[in-house]
Structure 1
Amino acid sequence: MTRHRIFAAAVASVYPFYVAKAEKKGRTKAEVDEIIRWLTGYDDDGLAAQLAAGTSFEDFFAQAPAMNPARSLITGSVCGVRVETIEEPVMREIRYLDKLVDELARGKAMAKILRGT
């Protein structure tokens, strides 16, 4: 099975696009960071270190301090694919993050994005 190239891509190479998508819709970088912290358990310093190190998506999720168990409540489509049906674990985590940033950009309240936590 061929590994998807996004697994090896640096989170830092995509992060500015997450922030730009949010800011274009009146949301903030701080909110993007809050989403990432909620999903992965990284604190601000840990997230900054991962971005500075150019960590790949695969390693970013593998090294995450505490993946949020409530992430399984994330449902819906990203790029025409239902996130809850993605079987490959790393791709599912990437799509969870994509979905959360999409919800932020669409104006959804943070309490709902973070699944009530």
Structure 2
Amino acid sequence: MISPSDVEFENKAKNMLQRVIEWATKHMIGKEVAGGCLRRKMAAMSFSLSIDFISGISILTTFCQRSSAMALHRSVIEAYLRGFWLAYVADEDSIQKFSTGPLTKTAKPLAQLLKRKGFKINVNCFQQSES
């Protein structure tokens, strides 16, 4: 059984996801990814993956699969951040390393790199809460 606090948490998560989508759309529309073909392909794949996750969240919440939907929220954010990092921040060496596996980045380091590059990101959103 779902409690009122669960519904509130779910609504906050959906609102955060909506803000991420709005921010990313605002900063993506009309932007071209400069650089090599690998950069463009990997950035596009990251953005596409985040859209797939969003669709998955929508389907899961339709069928009251809240836990699985919540688990995908972070994946959406990380995929968007990774796409921006690949498109606008990563150097060619980092892209090559990322494409072959030895370089990985999670949400907070990606957000910090994007913020340093001039994108307006609240990196505090990615701090883990203390239990």
Per the normalisation by structure 1, the TM-score is 0.37
Q: Which has the larger radius of gyration?
A: 2
More helix by share: 2
Q: Which has the higher contact order (CA 8 A, sep 6+)?
A: 1
